[in-house]
Structure 1
Amino acid sequence: MPLMVLRRRLWQALTRPVTMNSGITLDVVTKTAELTALHADWERLVDSMEVPSPFLSWDWSRTWWETFGRGKHMRVAVLRDAGQVVGIAPFYRATYGPVRALVPFGWPDRLTEQIEPIIPEPGRDRVNSALSEWLLKEHALGLAPGLDRSTALLFGERALRDDVYFDWRRLPPTWDELLDGLHRSMRGNIRYYPRLMERNGHKLAFRIADDVGAVRAALPKLFALHTARANAPTGERHRDRLREPSHREFLQRLASVLPKNGAMKLGLLQVDGVDVAAQLWFERNGTIFLHYSGYQPEWSRFSVAMVVTSEIIRTGVERGMRRVEFLRGSKQFKTRWNTEQRMQTDIYYVRHPLLLPMFHRVRSLRRKLRSRSYRRVGGQPATEPVAD
């Protein structure tokens, strides 16, 4: 049998729809054209999620693949029940030397703050069971993030589990009502720092870039301010998440699409006509999703990062937004907004349990090396950053 024919038959076998034990049918999308065909079902499912997030949207995923997908093998699981799409889990196969692993779209760029299978209720447990069955049967090693606790337990002793916390809060009808619900010190700081700058003779202005041209023009200012904060000579060091050209390209590509639907905005705080702080955020279904920020370190004593965040939330309340998400990781600069928490579990799984201890050691070593590379001796910053 010719080699090309053998390869074609093998590939067809790997991508042929299969029926899982739960009765859910699963097939694998491997081409961009097939991904495009999922657009309507993808958006329908996202709108039915507990938190309909822009990070889960078809536009985000398509743009991510266009930017980061070169040289990768797409493996998007599409789950159907009685012919209807009831779940989508976008993965790709990554190669690390001799090791191949299945990982999700958005990993490990640290720009996609929410990564989870797009599987809403009703029937979520049944669909998740089918997905976990496929992951363990078809792939020897992988990462399945954003699972609920019951789904995470399906992987048994063949997985390492990391619980991830997300801070969020509901937004009241008025800004004054939100302020009244905050701790007295936080409420005072929100009012104090703008007045302090004005008493020192400075003129403040907050502007929002919210259309395609304005967002694309404002992004380089965010990049510069984010880098300035990361390179500050004193205080706690922060990673420059926006340094990589591919990360900047990705955000610029998003800025050509998402602002058309009001889903991507950028706020800038100007002092005496100069941009001193900025923050990016996204919106969907009445929710604000705060993202990366930056500021000039010499203005940190005025808590300009907090001022930007408070202005984003204030204007959101005035526009009728109902919720704000502070995204991955729980820290004091988030919880001071009187937040609630939800938890998801990231699963690092192996098909063969004997490999788990070795996998754990490799992962622990990698985390230690990354931590040491960003450690800096010095005092705490004068103000907390808005986002990591």
Structure 2
Amino acid sequence: MHVVAYRNMNKAAVLAGFWDQLARGIPFRSWTWCRHWWNAYGDLPGRELFVVVVFDSGGWPIAIAPWYRERDPLWGNVIRFLGTGEVCSDHLGLLCEPGMEITAAEVLAAWLVGAHDPSANDRKDRPVYPRKAMLRFAAFGDEEDGTDDGRVLDKPLPWDMLELTGVVQDNVQVTLFVDALREHECRVSQEPGPNLWRIPLEKNFESYLQRLSKNQRRNVRRRMRDHIDSGHAVLQSVSSLEMLRRGCDILIDLHQRRRQSLGEPGCFASERFRRFHLEMMPDLLRKGMLGLHWVEYDGVPVAVDYQLQGAGIVYAYQAGIDPDRLDVSPGHLANLLTIRRAIEHGARVFDFLRGDERYKADLGAVPCPTVEYRIVPPRLRPRVNLELWQLGKRGKRLAKATLRRWLPVAEQ
């Protein structure tokens, strides 16, 4: 096994095919998502690409860690997943060839900890790889003269904290990797993250309705009769680049108007957020990973859903509604129509992603726990920083519990 880190996205593009193969249809892990995210957010101060790849004995990639490194004033050098921050990517994780999970986790952990133990990555212990694989991935030649051209490294960069967020609790690969880091005496903080909410879909819409409570089923049938079956509400779905341009305009308009009506700036107020999505969506459409739908009520757009799709799962990523047409419950109509469409197109799961909004449970979604890891290497200063951070978290939880306990007394 051999490990290298790519520090230039153009250089890493040679891995795109393997990257998507290992992503297993999860859009947030795909090459398209990660590449466009880095193009939009990678030039922020203190950030540098840190995509780590594990190669097998034949010189072919078996695992990819889609990371970047960022200088943080508190923690120092922090490693995070590509796609974090305001983009709110979910289902993040390490990419790995099936059957190689344990080996990849152990090799990656040992290599990463080697940043603080130079002898762990001594050149004389490295195997020789077939020239064909070396040329195919251009991963080894850049440093044979001992120089660093800023593109590829076969030694790990120093790090002070590894922050893994947006991870589903039952993610086996990440769990194995964290356990391997523990074996190397790294300290690990594990905190619950926000729940994801998912609907296991039935074979037809009527069977799906039977899973809802009696009251919810009655409400759904009433909305279907009054607004959808009557022909007032019609779902439009993007199927071409021409439609995509109109769909993007509708998405930004309805999302921004709704959020601003609630006193919020809206996600698309961020120039980077807007650029990330507008540049990426044509690629997603071409790859069959984009679902952009809007509901027209009597011919006027009143709701929009920006979805991602892959491996039989629909991910409801972003939405917007007309704040002047709340009388027709446009958000509920969009949910019903897109769930029905997902069933008709053979989807297995409808994923509302993170957030505990009540409507998700009302529509039959069940919570899927996530976890957030903060891991520090076996050095004094990072350990002290982690202890102080955990102490602060415990203090905040205690203060909130005390406030909840005393508020009812004060109100009396």
Instruction: State the distance in 2 between where 1:81 and 1:172 align.
Output: 41
Partner SS for 1:173: coil
- Are 2:96 and 1:119 equivalent residues in the alignment? yes
Instruction: State the distance in 2 between where 1:363 and 1:238 align.
Output: 27
- Are 2:198 and 1:168 equivalent residues in the alignment? yes
Deviations 1:41-76 (A, max 9, x none): 1122122xxxx3111111111111222222531110
- Are 2:353 and 1:327 equivalent residues in the alignment? yes
Highest CA radius of gyration, 1 or 2?
A: 2
Q: Counterpart of 2:216?
A: 186
Asked whether the equivalents of residues 108 and 177 of structure 2 are also in contact (C-alpha less than 8 Å), the reply is no
Give the stretch that moved more between structures: 203-212 or 153-162: 153-162
Task: List aligned pairs for 1:1-388, cutoff 5 A.
Answer: 24-47=1-24, 52-71=25-44, 72-82=47-57, 83-97=59-73, 99-138=76-115, 139-145=159-165, 146=167, 148=172, 149-156=175-182, 158-164=187-193, 165-197=195-227, 203-233=232-262, 240-351=266-377, 352-360=382-390
Change in Cα spacing, 1:167 to 1:120, as seen in structure 2 (3 Å) is farther
Question: What displacement does 1:116 show?
Answer: 1.3
Q: Which amino acid aligns with 2:219?
A: N
RMSD: 2.9
Partner SS for 1:327: strand
Instruction: State the distance in 2 between where 1:68 and 1:365 align.
Output: 33
Instruction: State the distance in 2 between where 1:364 and 1:257 align.
Output: 44
Partner SS for 2:86: coil
Q: Which amino acid aligns with 1:335?
A: A
Instruction: State the distance in 1 between where 2:235 and 2:286 align.
Output: 22
Instruction: State the distance in 1 between where 2:392 and 2:268 align.
Output: 26
Instruction: State the distance in 2 between where 1:365 and 1:85 align.
Output: 44
**Structure 1 gaps, min length 5:** 1-23, 368-388
Partner SS for 1:242: helix
Change in Cα spacing, 1:134 to 1:328, as seen in structure 2 (3 Å) is farther
Asked whether the equivalents of residues 162 and 347 of structure 1 are also in contact (C-alpha less than 8 Å), the reply is yes
Change in Cα spacing, 1:224 to 1:103, as seen in structure 2 (3 Å) is same
Partner SS for 2:109: helix
Change in Cα spacing, 1:78 to 1:151, as seen in structure 2 (3 Å) is closer
Partner SS for 2:267: coil
Asked whether the equivalents of residues 216 and 256 of structure 1 are also in contact (C-alpha less than 8 Å), the reply is no
Change in Cα spacing, 1:151 to 1:36, as seen in structure 2 (3 Å) is closer
Question: What displacement does 1:308 show?
Answer: 0.4
Instruction: State the distance in 2 between where 1:239 and 1:366 align.
Output: 27
**Matched residues, number:** 336
Question: What displacement does 1:194 show?
Answer: 4.5
Partner SS for 2:269: coil
Instruction: State the distance in 2 between where 1:365 and 1:195 align.
Output: 52
> Aligned residues: percent identity?
19
Question: What displacement does 1:357 show?
Answer: 2.5
Q: Structure 1 or 2: larger helix share?
A: 2
Asked whether the equivalents of residues 25 and 79 of structure 1 are also in contact (C-alpha less than 8 Å), the reply is yes
Q: Which amino acid aligns with 2:290?
A: M
Asked whether the equivalents of residues 228 and 234 of structure 2 are also in contact (C-alpha less than 8 Å), the reply is no
Instruction: State the distance in 1 between where 2:258 and 2:349 align.
Output: 28
Asked whether the equivalents of residues 225 and 295 of structure 1 are also in contact (C-alpha less than 8 Å), the reply is yes
Q: Which amino acid aligns with 1:225?
A: L
Question: What displacement does 1:125 show?
Answer: 2.8
Instruction: State the distance in 2 between where 1:260 and 1:90 align.
Output: 23
Question: What displacement does 1:331 show?
Answer: 4.0
Instruction: State the distance in 1 between where 2:53 and 2:228 align.
Output: 55
Instruction: State the distance in 2 between where 1:366 and 1:77 align.
Output: 35
**Normalized against structure 2, the TM-score is what?**
0.73
Instruction: State the distance in 1 between where 2:363 and 2:244 align.
Output: 27
